[in-house]
């Protein structure tokens, strides 16, 4: 293998092993004729906040698994069980399913300015 090719392969392997940058960001997910859903994340704290027009207050969630900027998270207090959400960053798509049921929906999402609910990262979860 030529030296330039070795360097390229080494660089790609090195980049693949670097963990995703911790950050806070918000998404707007379109729900057809209904009002949009909003999600705000703190990837370092592994927290999520779900805002829905059907809920009076924002709901806390927990990121349970991640792969780069795509991850699985759950939100409490929706229906009889937790609700699972999958954010697929590459497809800009949110998938929602009620745990233990066949219910599943997908929404197209896009990044938006950090939502004011970001202050909830300090108040929605019990103090440790």
Please give the angle made by the CA atoms of 68, 72 and 75, to the nearest 5 degrees: 140
Q: Which fold has domain 20-121?
A: Porin (2.40.160)
Instruction: Look at residue 14 in the predicted model and tell me its pLDDT.
Output: 31
Instruction: Look at residue 81 in the predicted model and tell me its pLDDT.
Output: 61
User: Which residue ranges in the chain fall short of pLDDT 70?
Assistant: 1-22, 77-82, 126-128
Instruction: Look at residue 126 in the predicted model and tell me its pLDDT.
Output: 63
Instruction: Look at residue 80 in the predicted model and tell me its pLDDT.
Output: 55
Q: Tell me the whole-structure pTM to 2 decimals.
A: 0.76
């Amino acid at each position: 293998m030529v030296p330039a090719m070795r360097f390229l392969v080494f660089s790609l392997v090195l980049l693949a092993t670097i963990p995703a940058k911790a950050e806070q960001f918000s998404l707007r997910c379109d729900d057809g004729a209904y009002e949009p859903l909003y999600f705000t994340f703190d990837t370092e704290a592994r927290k999520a906040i779900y805002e829905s027009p059907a809920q009076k207050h924002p709901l806390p969630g927990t990121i349970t698994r991640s792969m780069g900027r795509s991850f699985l998270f759950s939100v409490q207090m929706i229906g009889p069980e937790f609700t699972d959400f999958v954010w697929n960053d590459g497809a800009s798509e949110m998938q929602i399913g009620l745990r233990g049921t066949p219910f599943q929906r997908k929404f197209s999402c896009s990044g938006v300015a950090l939502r004011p609910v970001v202050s909830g990262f300090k108040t929605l979860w019990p103090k440790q």
